[in-house]
């Protein structure tokens, strides 16, 4: 299942679990748990071997759930 509403993403706009792990500064396991949370954005691509999220969806989630993630403040 994928969440491919809207226009296709631009190159570099998709994030994988490693990118999410880096942004959140958490372990691979913790990033996986967070990405499976019902409040986390649905992946743009969701296949058994790869899950990719739109950067803007993940950043919007971070702005709501981890407002200091950008290091501003």
Q: pLDDT (tens digit, 9 = 90+) per residue, 19-63?
A: 999 999 999 999 999 999 999 999 999 999 999 999 999 999 999
Can you give the pLDDT at residue 4?
56
Can you give the pLDDT at residue 3?
55
Instruction: State the burial class of residue 38 (Cβ atoms within 10 Å of its Cβ: 0-12, 13-18, 19+).
Output: exposed
Note whether residue 53 is domain-resident. yes
Q: Report how many domains make up the chain.
A: 1
Note whether residue 61 is domain-resident. yes
Note whether residue 58 is domain-resident. yes
Can you give the pLDDT at residue 65?
93
- Own/partner pairs, 47-50, CB within 8 angstroms, 24+ separation: 47/2, 50/16
Closest CA to 10 of 50, 43, 56: 56
Can you give the pLDDT at residue 1?
41
Contact 23, 61 (CB under 8 A): no
Note whether residue 5 is domain-resident. no
């Amino acid at each position: 299942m994928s969440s491919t509403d809207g226009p296709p993403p631009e190159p570099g706009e998709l994030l994988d679990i490693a990118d999410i792990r880096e942004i959140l500064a958490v372990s691979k396991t913790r990033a996986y748990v967070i990405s499976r949370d019902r409040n986390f954005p649905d992946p743009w691509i969701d296949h058994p071997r790869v899950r990719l999220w739109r950067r803007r969806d993940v950043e919007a989630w971070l702005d709501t759930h981890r407002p200091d993630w950008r290091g501003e403040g």
